[in-house]
Amino acid sequence: MNPLYRQASYSGSAHQFSQLPEEVVREVAFAGRSNAGKSSCINTLTGNHKLARTSRTPGRTQLINHFLLKPGYYLVDLPGYGFAKVSKRQRNHWRRLLGDYLAYRRELACLVMLMDIRHPLTENDWSLIELQQQGNAQLHIVLTKSDKLSRNQAAQALQRTQTEIGDAGLEVTLQTFSSLSGEGVDDLAGVLDEQLLP
């Protein structure tokens, strides 16, 4: 794995699109339903289990958080979406913020979208994909918590998700992932190498 990911450090947070860092060459963002394992994925990739805040409480990530790899290159942790226990006003703010970010952030090379492998492609996931399609970033889907299923079940879930995505006419790459077993970490790092450090 590229040692660059192990150097990731917190750089700053944004509550508004105008607060995003400007000296950016390329960045890859991570998004996922609340409790899909997004923060755990980032922490496993970077080898720093305190980098992205994890919680049993859905919706812990409420800002756009930037993690610096090297000058101009970032990993980005986006607010979780779905069943977070926050006000309707806050949910609407998150949706506007995510929509603006995905549609207009020119430096965004790829959106890594995380879904619990046991519950992929919910209505909320399709809503985020719809927002993502308004921009130019690539889409890479990561089916997390693959350790919760047998290898055969995980392969079937991956195939079903791939079929649904294909039927929707979308060009997407997919993989399985487990922050507990380490499955898929090298595959994800390889995707980031291609998208972030071409």
Q: Which domain holds residue 11?
A: 3-196
Element (H, E) at 69: strand 64-70
Q: What is the pLDDT of residue 93?
A: 81
| Digit-coded pLDDT (tens) for 117-174 | 999 999 989 999 999 999 999 999 999 999 999 999 999 999 999 999 999 999 999 9
Q: What is the pTM of this model?
A: 0.93
**Edge-to-edge strand order for the sheet containing 108-116?**
9-14, 64-70, 73-77, 26-32, 108-116, 138-144, 173-176
The count of domains in the chain is 1
Q: What is the CATH number of the domain that holds 54?
A: 3.40.50.300
User: Of 83 and 4, which is predicted with more confidence?
Assistant: 4
Predicted local confidence at residue 89, as pLDDT: 84
**At how many degrees (to 10) do helices 38-46 and 185-196 cross?**
80
pLDDT score for 53: 77
**115 three-state secondary structure:** strand
- What is the band of 85 on the pLDDT scale with cuts at 50, 70, 90? low
Indicate the range of 60-64, 100-104, 133-137, 172-176 predicted with least confidence: 60-64
